[in-house]
Amino acid sequence: MITQAFDTLEFSALRAVVRRGAQTEIGRERIDRLGPISDIDELQRDLRGVTEMIELRRRGARLSFDGIADPTDSISRLRIEGSALEPIAILGVARLCECAMDARGAIMAERETCATLFEIVAGLPPELKSLTARLTKKIRPSGELDDRASPQLASIRRDIAHTRSRITRSLENLMRRSSEAVQEELVTIRNDRFVIPVRSDHRGRINGVAHGTSSSGATVFIEPLETIEANNELQSLREAEEREIAEILFALSEELRRELPGLELAANAIAELDFINAKAGFAERLDCVVPEIDGGTSAASKLDDKKIHPDRLEPGLVPAGDLEFIDARHPLLAESLRETNGKVVPVSFKLDDTNTTMVISGANAGGKTVVLKTAGLLSLMALSGLPVPAKEARVPFYRSVLADIGDHQSIAANLSTFTSHVANIASMIERCEMPALILLDEVGTGTDPEEGSALGVAVVDYFKRHGAHGLATTHYSGLKMYASNEPGVLNASVEFDEETLQPTYRLLVGLAGSSSGLEIARRFGIPDHVIKHASEHVKQSSLDAIEYLRRIKREAEEAESLRQALEEERAAVAE
């Protein structure tokens, strides 16, 4: 998919929110690559996996991947013949296998309802469980090899302990016999050899090899002659221990190398399960629903549908399918408001074969742009296999999601507000691949209102005729009239409370809205005499249009209130 709208719709920020739910680095890397999926079968499979994981979590099952290190380097090293892993790396692989087999067991118990998740773990070889047990038996959690790692290692370590004890007793006896020459009766180690601290002025009293002095120069560290042979023996034993450890690590690495295909399957399974689990956690946190993807039907069957207006479409082009959100919320806004216990006002709308386009009008700062961003981001989420924050969601299998939102002016590129919008829209026209979702914020703004309105109508109509779904915001009456008169185009508005002069952020589908610019200007501190002077210059036709829109809104509210009253009365009679 073309990534033109990703930055505008803040898809990277959305990834970061989902990323918080991942437990492993390989899971987080998987989320970092998250994006729209080009194959619809793969997308449907991903969504089934999320649905199954959500249900698994609801039944109390939790997949834990705590303590799993990134296995990429270890697996890459195992591919090199003759190489050996360090103990901590081997423990990391063992932890990977343990978690993979635990996840397999949890999913196996629910395999009847988790068919997609089971496919991820079905190929894991059962040998990984016994392999994990053997590895953890030989390596302690600290990364030190256990004495039982091999009989030879146990024997060498017993000899080391015995030799160390013999040297220590010998040095302690010597210090007691020569207490006046000893700085402190404390056996210490210098250069990996046992020594005693001797006063510098009594250096000659103790025969042996000096291994340095203290920082003050008052103490010399002497290895007495009677312990040199024992120290040499201890050094030889330590070297033998290191050789035995190297042999054990190589043998364990060879054992892992023989199971390399299974290890790769385990790493892939953990990455995929952690990825899906993070998506399920995101769904729980933001009360999401798994969207339905409308794969569409054939062009012929669509054109046979009498609800479609083929005379208004370019030849061979058909609408994309159904885009529907019920009580949809912008996830980034919802996440932000969670910190202050705030709530997002949800929006609901539907674009289908009959109505492919919606023009949204209404007051500034009333939430028009949020509606566009919500529709766009939730569509990208659905096409990426993510649950979306809504009660119901249905999204066509779009090939393009394109947006012109915000001010792209650039002094360096010699672009004004208007030219930046025009350049972006031109690029959208050139790059658009159907089926598509087109998002246009304040289309035609930044130039003469009459020309801007005409351009806005032309752009919206162009995408409509080419079968795209379109959402456009505007303050232009020309676009509102176009939406009222053009088949397949809906008017909608963001509600503005005329009494409080505050937006309610509710989306009202079927009603155009007035911009309420003067009321908002008054609310933000413009003096009354300036507002009054401005009112005197508003054309009577504009005032009439504003009053007409307000009357329609009042009548619609009265009709809705009457409908609710009738439903309540009918329910009371039924009881």
Q: In Å, what is the CA distance from 238 to each residue of 138, 160, 241?
A: 19, 7, 5
- Tell whether 139 is covered by a domain: no
- Whether the pLDDT of residue 453 is over 80: the answer is yes
Residue 103: CA atoms inside 13 Å, Cβ hemisphere, count? 32
pLDDT per residue over 115-138, tens digit each? 999 999 999 999 999 999 999 999
Q: Which residue has the higher pLDDT, 252 or 417?
A: 252
pTM of the model: 0.81
Note whether 505 and 345 are within 8 A (CB). yes
How would you class 22 by CB atoms within 10 Å of its CB: exposed for 0-12, middle for 13-18, buried for 19 or more? Answer: buried
- Tell whether 306 is covered by a domain: yes
Q: Which residue has the higher pLDDT, 545 or 198?
A: 198
The reported pLDDT for the residue numbered 199 is 87
Arithmetic mean of pLDDT, 52-68: 91
- For residues 563 and 508, state if they share a domain: no
pLDDT per residue over 482-523, tens digit each? 988 899 999 998 887 666 657 778 888 887 766 555 666 666
How many structural domains does the chain have?
4
Q: Which of 144-148, 152-156, 159-163, 481-485 has the lowest mean pLDDT?
A: 481-485
- For residues 328 and 412, state if they share a domain: yes
pLDDT per residue over 365-376, tens digit each? 778 899 999 999
- Whether the pLDDT of residue 300 is over 50: the answer is no
Confidence of residue 304 (pLDDT cuts 50, 70, 90): very low
- Tell whether 250 is covered by a domain: no
The reported pLDDT for the residue numbered 477 is 83
The reported pLDDT for the residue numbered 534 is 67
- Tell whether 567 is covered by a domain: yes
Q: How many percent of the chain have pLDDT more than 90?
A: 54
Is residue 198 classed as helix, strand or coil in its secondary structure?
strand
- Tell whether 205 is covered by a domain: yes
- For residues 375 and 521, state if they share a domain: yes
What CATH code is carried by the domain that includes residue 264? Answer: 1.10.1420.10
- For residues 437 and 546, state if they share a domain: no
Confidence of residue 526 (pLDDT cuts 50, 70, 90): confident
- Which ranges of 124-207 would DSSP assign to H, the alpha helix? 127-138, 151-177
Query: Hey, what long-range contacts does 10-18 have (CB within 8 A, 24 or more apart)?
Result: 10/332, 10/373, 10/377, 11/35, 11/377, 11/380, 13/332, 14/331, 14/332, 14/377, 14/380, 14/381, 17/282, 17/331, 17/332, 17/335, 18/278, 18/279, 18/282, 18/386
Q: Mean pLDDT score of the chain, rounded to an integer?
A: 85
Arithmetic mean of pLDDT, 463-486: 90
Q: Which residue has the higher pLDDT, 308 or 100?
A: 100
- Tell whether 165 is covered by a domain: yes
Confidence of residue 382 (pLDDT cuts 50, 70, 90): very high
Q: Which of 239-243, 354-358, 519-523, 546-550 has the lowest mean pLDDT?
A: 546-550
Note whether 500 and 371 are within 8 A (CB). no
The reported pLDDT for the residue numbered 298 is 36
Q: Which residue has the higher pLDDT, 203 or 556?
A: 203
- Tell whether 274 is covered by a domain: yes
- For residues 497 and 575, state if they share a domain: no
Instruction: Print the domain residue range for 191.
Output: 151-234
- Whether the pLDDT of residue 203 is over 90: the answer is no
- For residues 339 and 403, state if they share a domain: yes
- Whether the pLDDT of residue 459 is over 60: the answer is yes
Domain boundary among 222, 251, 283: 283
- For residues 264 and 222, state if they share a domain: no
- Tell whether 144 is covered by a domain: no
- For residues 272 and 328, state if they share a domain: no
